[in-house]
Structure 1
Amino acid sequence: MTALPATPAPATSLPAAYLPGPVNPPARLLMGPGPIDADPRVLRALSTPLIGQYDPVMTGYMNDTMALYRQVWATTNEATFLVDGTSRAGIEAALVSLVRPGQRVLVPVFGRFGHLLTEIAHRAQAEVHTVEAPWGQVVTPAAVEEAVVRVRPHLLAVVQGDTSTTMCQPLEDLGEICARHGVLFYTDATASLGGNPFEADAWGLDAATAGLQKCLAGPSGSAPITLSPRAVEVVRARSRVEAGIREEGDADADDPIRSNYFDLGMILDYWGPRRLNHHTEATSMLYAARECARILLEEGRQAVIDRHALHGRAMLAGVRGLGLQVFGDVAHKMHNVVAVEIPAGLDGDAGRAAMLADFGIEIGTSFGPLHGRVWRIGTMGYNARQDTVLLTLAALEQVLRRGGVRVPPGGGVDAAYAVYDEVRAP
């Protein structure tokens, strides 16, 4: 095969007197597993002026944000707000606040991010147990229930959409299992929320967290979270005393949450009617998170899910139309990302580099046992559109050809068009 250009090595040192120019990134189309190009309306929200955190306008924006995300999560939970930080901040806040040291946590693992939940739960000093499925598959409800009965966990912690494998773990039956066995039910929906069905109340979720940088069409840096009344009771039992203003030396509960920043009880008081000081709100990120939810609901929650499903089907058909194999159980694939087997003899990293250098398009690499085996191509958020799908497929065809891979001329674009034409047909 023809060799594709190697990835350039990054600079390793800077001169002593270093003064860079202003930030001016090149134009990119981010078609990987996230982050993606933020919606221009979200970028405009980010650039709006700052105001004080106790300004009535600011507290009004906070109230707006809570109300909007209740609709995004499909919940009536009063405790629906933001954790300042990336999606991992939301995960850590949920786990350290809900789990006491020594309590049992059960994690279904079917990809890299299940392993992340186990690591964070270990750091919270939980007794962690796992139930695993091979990468490319999901964990069955029967396997989860068997593990719940055997382990008797305090908390079931599961990733809904794991971008490392592109699988979407079904959650519909897990809430009933947890309710029947008295188990708290938490999910990380960072990769899936907005682009795939999610019903916090109907599925019996006690806690769920996400990020903005995938189907919600925003930048990384804010973590929407929702907590059921039962989860709030657990958090309150562990958070610091509630009466009065918290000051140094206040008495702790019998087992305080071991993080100040991620103490959800204190954050609840910050977002609640008393507005007790906990941190300085990340104002620009709150603007962005509010706009992400507002845009999604303006389009319509189900319409956004349907849009992701449509463009995900088109991308799936397109890569198959190029003769590429798709990794994993497609029946359980997320709408918004597909894992494509890299053709034998082609340097996958060089192919990604060529997509970026020649077309300004970024696609994703892979982790763990899939490293070097697959590319991950996303269609999510603002980039879940026909033009981005067709452009990515056309560019990928040329990169494959230059790498010596024989592909059907126009096969990817034609296959994607067939999906779109079917939808448009009267």
Structure 2
Amino acid sequence: MPKLATIARAGLLIGALAMAGCSESQSTFEGLAAKGEVHIPPKILAEMKAKDMPRNSPVLARIFKEEGKLEIWKQKANGRYDVIASYDICKWSGKLGPKYIEGDRQAPEGFYSVRPGQMKPNSQYHLAFNIGYPNAYDRANGRTGSNLMVHGACSSSGCYSMTDAQIEQIYAFGRDAFAGGQTEFQIQAFPFRMTAANMARYRTDPNYAFWKMLKEGYDYFEITKVPPKVDVCEKRYVFNRIPENGTPFSPTGACPASTQPDSLKMAFQTYQSSYEAAFASAVKASTPAPKPTINGIKEANIVSDWTKQRARGERVPIEPPSLEADGSVKVTGRMGRIDSPAGRRMAALEAAEAEKQKIAEEKKRAAEEKAAAIALAKAQKNAPVPAPSPAPAETAEAVAAAPAEAPERTGLLGGVRKRMASLFGG
């Protein structure tokens, strides 16, 4: 078993080969420095000194979604890295799993690089830096998206958002490393700490093959404590590979023949043997239930459509829809509209349309009532007048028995006749 120092030196050799990159202009760096008035706290500076970390030595960031952590690792004088600060991520959006397309609200997972030009000292989110999505792997696999950041303001729609106080320290680490000559620093973004227990928990997840690929880079860093050299070929990540005859890596082409230092290969094989035994044991053990994960490009498209509707100001479910394991789409009942110019404009248009519809319905109802009244009046006018009902028929016996009565007469003449009849016994 080679000593760790030997492994570290091998890792440093490989890492040095990955430092190719264009230098940023002096004006860009000056802008970075001018904004960077924030300072690393004295307590952290004292810890850096205790760990033999020069103030301007290179840095690396590691992100773990499930644990909600962002770690800053810094290079010591011996070339190996050690963690110097750990922060609780204030907010990240989406689920565990990679980002697929613009609008899916997923925070990226993978290996990314930050150069001075990606630092955003005048960000509307206090301070920020672009993590470099999409990288070569993302582009080779047709993944899209833009402006994916680590920033302040604790607000996220696909980014990793920190508090303002946190981003000031994180930003200062990057600024000081660039001042010390680092041309880019690596960001390693993972769904969770890639331990045997966690990998066993997610072994049936649709993203598992992607995560196993990331784990190789994770493992190299765990072994060497040096950022792995990252390349892409055959649309997949490869780590710590030195191509023979200087053949370049093509993200979509066949992987060229490559080599690794023997010490590194041996250390990796030993590490994997221990991991496989731990994984087998973890499969049998009871573990916490897995967290929600994105169900591939199909769910990404569903969420992306929701995002587009929301951006247009349409009323949509408050939470993004999700794709269930059985293929059904889960949508929350509460509806809402984004508070933006587009949202307010759409709300005004819908309110005007609703009022217009209400007026039209009232006019229609009034016209229907008027037409009904006219039809009723016409029907009553044209109806025949019914004949009076005859008096109930009397029996012949009753008619014969009853004396004839003169019809009662009213008026003056009738009164005279009535008096005369009384005089003569009538």
User: Normalised by the size of structure 1, how large is the TM-score?
Assistant: 0.24
User: Normalised by the size of structure 2, how large is the TM-score?
Assistant: 0.24
Look at both structures and tell me which one has the larger radius of gyration over its CA atoms.
2
